[in-house]
Chain A
Amino acid sequence: MKKFTTLTGIAAPLPMVNVDTDKIIPAQFLKSIGREGLGEALFFDMRYLPDGSENPDFVLNKPAYRQAKILIAGDNFGCGSSREHAPWALADFGISCVIAPDFADIFYNNCFKNGILPIKIDKETWEKLLDDAVRGANAMITVDLEAQEIRGPDGGVATFDVDPFRKECLLNGWDDIDLTLQKSAAIDAFEKKRVTAWPWAAPVDG
């Protein structure tokens, strides 16, 4: 997995509440059998007009935000479907940090698997960051995962919480399947216990 350590970039404001994963990437783009190239489809229905041209009013189409690396998003960002195409599309576009007052659980989890840092932040700090984001390239934001700090353009610093395990995985770019396979003995032991304790539950076919 791609590492996430420190990120400095333009933050795009998208303060809309309940941005669901269908909005992040509509279902017609889920027919790919790969993970690549989904950045073009990010926020498709908001980003493009019915004739296929760019909607000039959408934040990521504005000259100031075309290179955004951070998204300042609204409450309950990523609600809805479990599609990992949502973080894939964000990453492919170049966004590797999303800051919001709250996230939907599955999307939040999926971000960490793709080198994207989702940051839950209190409403007051969020509003300050949103103000910064509105200033576009004049207001670069730095996100430092090691220090758990967001540094604003005016010298302001906000701290954030992150699960220690997920933090380590992101900082080191660890593949969590590798980590789990190191615990194969515990899985073997569990499976032995399972056969005796719940014999009816295994195997599925029979």
Chain B
Amino acid sequence: MAGQTLYDKIWDAHLVDASAGGMALIYIDVHLTHEVTTPQAFEGLRQAGRSVRRPDLTLAVADHAIPTTDRNAPVEDAQAALQLETLAANTAEFGIEYYDGHDIRQGIVHVVGPEQGLTQPGMTIVCGDSHTSTHGAFGALAHGIGTSEVEHVLATQTLIARKAKNMRVTVNGALAPGITPKDMALAIIGKIGTAGGTGHVIEYSGAAVRALSMEGRMTLCNMTIEAGARAGLIAPDEITFAYLKGRPRAPKGAAWEAARAYWRGLASDDAAVFDRQIVMDAADIPPLVTWGTSPEDVAPITGAVPDPAQERDPDKARAMRRSLDYMDLQPGAKMTDIKIDRVFIGSCTNSRIEDLRAAAAIVKGHKVASHVGAMVVPGSGLIKAQAEEEGLDKIFLDAGFEWREAGCSMCLGMNPDRLAPGERCASTSNRNFEGRQGKGGRTHLMSPAMAAAAAIKGAFADVRECKLG
């Protein structure tokens, strides 16, 4: 028998029915929900007189539209307030646990799942949010779904799915000092493009991936959707188990031992066959910053804005010109000469404690440039509390950053945290699409340390040249 990949194993273990031609019915272990992509799904259930099959396998968290300002103040945006009230009412009606804005466990759903130990190896996890790929860091098959599928999972605890192809991205060697998992993710997307993983599940492997912490692995898997693959995976190992052990929803005692034995068997077999393979060397990855309006538009911080005249593909050249026009950048401009107006440190990509520590290490003892508005939005209430215990909040506040409550915030600008037209932002989020952080806003993606360095310098800066403290 041919070897199986990690993806093959999880798929097979969750197969409920494979009779519908190329489509299969797979069982879902954890369904994460939030206020934005569920109201229509719950309404659909009500209209059809259906119930939620497994409320006990479902968790709701307020994250997308919730303001990151004082949680005791009323939500001023009437539509956002209605969405939050609707989620509270729906979860109460259907018996689903809900972390609202007053719960310290509230945060970005993809930060909360792992933090609570809900996200475990070998599971299938879905959520009406494309960055569900984050959970793949644990060796769980996790991907985003649409609202109709949210309704389907609520009603049946299954998903109609077509099996994707297997792709492996191997990053050998070790990341150089100052280079982060975010740089690794951007380097991969820059190499394979935003459609490079379409139709595939990407398994990340290689020494540089194995060396990543769980938080680093989450950053890498989170960005998988920006490479076109719905799900990313990393085989669970001792680092995974150490992270999970003792978390509120992780198995305990004998169950822990049984689970760990099962998890150890999930790694791809040596003889497993991948439909597509990419191999990279971590030592070649510099600190990266995006220059355009697609996450594949990456440039090294030591480089310059590329010239569409050098692009041979006419479609790509046209897209580049449009991007540069939108971003108000000239070909050949040095990346370190690009001045910024705003800094956003947060999002499901980079809002965890290690991200905040890395940014604080750069910020400590410095001030945010006078023309820059900067904010830090922790990924969850628990991360915020931990950062405050470590004194990170003080470092940020002393430097002139805003220190906010947990949520998706300016990653997608659904709440009041938005760029004004024309504003340029150094952002630790995942998408630099036109208008993503506010109509006319210009987003440059980078690591937390690089965003912190940009806040201090007022322009993009090479974090390797920043003196710590």
Q: Chain A interface (Cβ within 8 Å of chain B)? A: 15-18, 20, 22-23, 26-28, 30-35, 45, 50, 74-76, 79-84, 87, 102-106, 109-110, 113-114, 163-166, 175-177, 179-181, 183-184, 186-187, 190-191, 194, 197-206
Q: List the B side residues contacting A84 at CB < 8 Å.
A: 37, 40, 128, 146-148
Q: List 5 A-B contacts (CB under 8 A).
A: A18-B194, A76-B195, A82-B146, A200-B120, A204-B57
Residue in A35, A50, A106, A205 whose beta carbon sits within 8 Å of that of B56 in the complex: A205
Residue in B65, B82, B259, B435 whose beta carbon sits within 8 Å of that of A26 in the complex: B435
Interface contact B148-A113, CB-CB below 8 Å: yes
CB distance from B178 to the nearest CB of A (A): 29
For residue B71, CB closer than 8 A to chain A, the reply is: no
CB distance from B249 to the nearest CB of A (A): 7
CB distance from B421 to the nearest CB of A (A): 7
- Taken together as a complex, chains A and B put the C-alpha atoms of A22 and B256 apart, in Å, by 42
Q: Mark B141-167, 1 if CB is under 8 A from A, else 0.
A: 001111111011001111010101000
Smallest CB gap from A79: residue in B = B194
For residue B36, CB closer than 8 A to chain A, the reply is: yes
CB distance from A17 to the nearest CB of B (A): 5
Interface contact A203-B27, CB-CB below 8 Å: no
- Taken together as a complex, chains A and B put the C-alpha atoms of A23 and B431 apart, in Å, by 12
For residue B393, CB closer than 8 A to chain A, the reply is: no
CB distance from B162 to the nearest CB of A (A): 7
- Taken together as a complex, chains A and B put the C-alpha atoms of A90 and B439 apart, in Å, by 20
Interface contact B21-A114, CB-CB below 8 Å: no
- Taken together as a complex, chains A and B put the C-alpha atoms of A106 and B127 apart, in Å, by 12
Interface contact B195-A79, CB-CB below 8 Å: yes
Report the contact-size class of chain B (Cβ under 8 Å from the partner). Answer: 35 or more
For residue B369, CB closer than 8 A to chain A, the reply is: no
Q: Mark B250-262, 1 if CB is under 8 A from A, else 0.
A: 0100011011001
A183-B16, A205-B97 as given contacts; A165 in contact with B23, CB under 8 Å:
yes
Interface contact A201-B146, CB-CB below 8 Å: no
Interface contact A201-B436, CB-CB below 8 Å: no
With A31-B80, A187-B27, A187-B53 given, can you name 15 additional A-B contacts, CB distance below 8 Å? Answer: A76-B195, A79-B228, A82-B129, A82-B145, A84-B128, A102-B195, A104-B198, A106-B130, A164-B22, A177-B48, A187-B156, A190-B27, A199-B258, A202-B57, A205-B97
Q: List the B side residues contacting A183 at CB < 8 Å.
A: 16-17, 25
For residue B29, CB closer than 8 A to chain A, the reply is: yes
Most buried by B among A33, A75, A83, A110: A33
- Taken together as a complex, chains A and B put the C-alpha atoms of A168 and B444 apart, in Å, by 44
For residue B202, CB closer than 8 A to chain A, the reply is: no
Q: List the A side residues contacting B433 at CB < 8 Å.
A: 20, 22-23, 80
For residue B300, CB closer than 8 A to chain A, the reply is: no
CB distance from A132 to the nearest CB of B (A): 19
- Taken together as a complex, chains A and B put the C-alpha atoms of A59 and B102 apart, in Å, by 46
For residue B413, CB closer than 8 A to chain A, the reply is: yes
Interface contact B160-A180, CB-CB below 8 Å: yes
Q: Mark B393-416, 1 if CB is under 8 A from A, else 0.
A: 000000000000000000011100
For residue B58, CB closer than 8 A to chain A, the reply is: yes
Q: List the B side residues contacting A31 at CB < 8 Å.
A: 36, 65, 77, 79-80, 82-83, 414
Residue in B17, B56, B228 whose beta carbon sits within 8 Å of that of A203 in the complex: B56
Interface contact A186-B25, CB-CB below 8 Å: yes
Q: Mark B1-45, 1 if CB is under 8 A from A, else 0.
A: 000000000000100110011110101011000001101100100
Interface contact B58-A204, CB-CB below 8 Å: yes
For residue B308, CB closer than 8 A to chain A, the reply is: no
Q: List the A side residues contacting B171 at CB < 8 Å.
A: none
- Taken together as a complex, chains A and B put the C-alpha atoms of A79 and B17 apart, in Å, by 29
